[in-house]
A and B are shown apart, each in its own frame.
Chain A
Amino acid sequence: MSQQERREAVVRGMLDAEGPVAVPVELHADAVRRGARMLRRRTVVRRLMWLLLLIAVVAFAVWAAQAQPWVEPPSSRTPPLTSW
């Protein structure tokens, strides 16, 4: 065991000797309350994102059905007349 390891072991002993620390009873309830709030908030954000995605899909579908961008637009100019 090196000198440094011995010194570390002494400090470890000092740290362990200090405990245990009394845990206040309300700590668990506080953590659960905050954790549940975080979960609720995440759920709301997730639902909003899905809603947004749904709205975007519907809007795109309506626009596509109406504009039909895949149909070639009719030619606006008559081809030149070359022969009878």
Chain B
Amino acid sequence: MRDRQAAQQARRAREFQAFVAGAAGRLLHAATLLTGERPDANPRARALLTAALASTYASWDRLRGEDPYDRTRTVLVVRFARGAWRRSRGRGGLLARLSPQERLVVVLRLYEGVAEEQTAALLGLGVERVRVLSARAVAAVLHPPRGPAPGVSGVSAALGGPSGASLGKGASP
């Protein structure tokens, strides 16, 4: 009994390590896009991914053929959508200027290539709403609103504007 448990634990550790080695980079990038942080300064994204991976590890023996990558991504997205993470403003990342919901749609639809219907189901939105959010987000990424003049960047930081990121960086924990 104890032997079997130990063997199962060793197998789980081995498989999980292989999974993390292969998938963590892409998942961390997705998490970084979600939190709107810069790729080289992403503490929130790391915390988010650590929590999602821990949940995957805990249910590893009960996956029954389900893809661990899909599962981790779902946990990641749901945690971000429900948790306190979305209240945080972006910090200089590519999607920092988008709303959390727009970031969710962009990451799922464009970065991860999840179908519109699945994205809608996962976020609890209508397909039409997902389409609208996606179009708006794409427009915002391609044509960012003109940044304010350097003299008034303090105002933009308060509004969470694009140049606010470089200012907010010093204050971030």
A58 at the interface (CB under 8 A from B): no
Which residues of A in the span 14-66 have a Cβ within 8 Å of any Cβ on B?
Answer: 14-16, 18-24, 27-28, 30-36, 38-39, 42
- Do A31 and B54 touch across chains, with their CB atoms under 8 A apart? yes
A11 CB to closest chain B CB (Å) equals: 5
- A15 in contact with B111 given A28-B20, A31-B50 (CB within 8 Å): yes
- What 1/0 mask marks residues of chain B from 32 to 55 whose CB sits below 8 Å from any chain A CB? 110000011010001001110111
B138 at the interface (CB under 8 A from A): yes
Among all A-B residue pairs, the 9 with the closest Cβ atoms: A35-B57, A34-B54, A31-B53, A38-B58, A35-B54, A21-B29, A35-B58, A23-B24, A19-B29
Contact partners of B49 in chain A: CB under 8 A: 27, 31
Q: State A23–B26 Cα separation when bound (angstroms).
A: 9
- Do B94 and A21 touch across chains, with their CB atoms under 8 A apart? no
Contact partners of A18 in chain B: CB under 8 A: 29, 33, 39, 94
Q: How many A-B Cβ pairs are below 8 Å? A: 97
A47 CB to closest chain B CB (Å) equals: 14
Q: State A32–B57 Cα separation when bound (angstroms).
A: 7
- Do B138 and A27 touch across chains, with their CB atoms under 8 A apart? no
- Minimum CB distance partner of B94 in chain A: A18
Interchain residue pairs with CB less than 8 A apart (26):
A11-B138, A11-B141, A15-B106, A18-B39, A19-B39, A20-B26, A20-B29, A21-B25, A21-B28, A21-B29, A21-B32, A23-B24, A27-B20, A30-B50, A30-B54, A31-B20, A31-B50, A31-B54, A31-B57, A33-B54, A34-B54, A34-B57, A35-B58, A36-B57, A36-B58, A39-B57
- Do A35 and B29 touch across chains, with their CB atoms under 8 A apart? no
A76 at the interface (CB under 8 A from B): no
- Do A8 and B134 touch across chains, with their CB atoms under 8 A apart? yes
Number of interface residues of A (CB under 8 A): 28
A7 at the interface (CB under 8 A from B): yes
A28 CB to closest chain B CB (Å) equals: 5
A7 CB to closest chain B CB (Å) equals: 5
B85 at the interface (CB under 8 A from A): no
- Do A27 and B55 touch across chains, with their CB atoms under 8 A apart? no
- What 1/0 mask marks residues of chain B from 97 to 118 whose CB sits below 8 Å from any chain A CB? 0000000001001110000000
B166 at the interface (CB under 8 A from A): no
- Minimum CB distance partner of A31 in chain B: B53
Contact partners of B55 in chain A: CB under 8 A: 35, 38
